[in-house]
A and B are shown apart, each in its own frame.
Chain A
């Protein structure tokens, strides 16, 4: 098997995850467990790990959880990424740390993130970058407000990636707006791993992402995937009518050339799934929350077979969460017996002491599901 970007990860102090160790990862990793067991948090942690020099990813990450429109302020959102420290009254300014360890072909070995809140006055540069007015009124110069700072301290196996073994980068945010991140010292973008996250709402929100990533669709065999959703699909095109913005159109035996938007959620989900995977570079990471959403049970096996095959071919590592037994079975079935080591499931649960994790190898998954009929969730 080709070297995986991640063969093991450890997460401590991020959201509700405590001393979680995911060992012996596979190409396809399925996360199962009760609600609030930490499945989505693992995907979020991976998105952070993939960009160890880019604390801005925290902003994208918290927005994904709240469907793009945050009810709480950005400081509150970041604060609750450190659950153990956040459980105190909001007036208290907190400091917290979360730590990640990783092993695999991605050369990052450790990432420590320090979070600290403060009361302060944004400087003039930060004021200029203010994303919007504060509480519906213009920001007054010199106004003291609550802020938070994230400090990333990555540790790499090789110093070839950085002149300094530990190159720090920070993100600074204020109560109601954020200033662009800046790096302490000499600016370095750092080494990162190509990764994309799909949530159950992605196909509604990420239209730009969908358009920009879809050119790969026309060069690949992913049309077969779309036919699993609708057998009358004959082609997929990017087109612009009357000089308007380019959009995705489906050539359909009954409808003719119709915009993607007239098709159901399942079709849009499939297009986004295929487009996203195909847009990743070799060695990239695809993170899918609730992988079964929008896909009819009958189509699961074919869709996941496409997903697994494409991931193998393009050397992409995938992490998915699911509550669905049908989705779990379809993923297990998507792996041939010879390559079942590719597929691994992890069951997460929270105990008083830590986040427990049970690993199920591919052959064990086959036996437990298809021979003994047991429910791993």
Chain B
């Protein structure tokens, strides 16, 4: 059985950033559902359109996988949704104990410093 990890980031660029960090470890994008470890199948959206919005992107995580690990990287589409997305999707997983690591990745910009977000995240 592979080891599982779950990472929630703020936006699509951060997903790509995390992928670049992990790819040297042999982690490859999973394109087809059949190739994905079934543990993460509950995180695949099954309903289109989201909120009836035909233009909205489906909130599908990027799944990275190698022989030993599968990691789901999820864009929360905004720092305000980081905790919601993490908690909601954690509920969907069948055996949370099997997840060896859950992380929230905060980026740094002029308005928003990761240090200032920590108390909010802790509170949630």
Contact = CB atoms under 8 A, between A and B. Distances in A.
Contacts of B94: 349
Given A360-B91, A364-B91, A368-B92, A374 B84 contact: no
A371 B51 contact: yes
B46 interface: yes
A358 B88 CA distance: 12
Contact of A373 (B50, B84, B89, B91): B50
Contacts of A367: 84, 88
B39 interface: no
Interface in A132-177: none
Interface in B92-109: 92, 94
A112 to B, nearest CB: 32
Nearest to B87: A364
A67 interface: no
Interface in A338-375: 349, 358, 360, 364, 367-375
B46 A373 contact: yes
A372 B42 contact: no
Interface in B6-54: 42-48, 50-51
B80 interface: no
Most B CB contacts (10 A, CB to CB) among A325, A360, A373 go to A373
A375 B51 contact: no
Contacts of A364: 88, 91
B113 interface: no
A372 B92 CA distance: 11
B78 to A, nearest CB: 13
A128 to B, nearest CB: 54
Given A364-B88, A367-B84, A368-B92, A374 B51 contact: no
A371 B91 contact: no
Contacts of A358: 91
B59 interface: yes
Nearest to A375: B46
A376 B46 CA distance: 10
Contacts of A369: 47
Interface in A209-254: none
A374 B84 CA distance: 14
Interface of B: 42-48, 50-51, 58-59, 84, 88-89, 91-92, 94
10 contacts: A349-B94, A360-B91, A364-B88, A364-B91, A370-B50, A372-B88, A373-B50, A374-B43, A374-B89, A375-B46
Closest 5 CB pairs of A and B: A373-B47, A373-B45, A375-B46, A373-B50, A372-B59
Given A325-B47, A369-B47, A373-B59, 8 more contacts: A368-B88, A370-B51, A372-B45, A374-B43, A374-B46, A374-B47, A374-B89, A375-B46
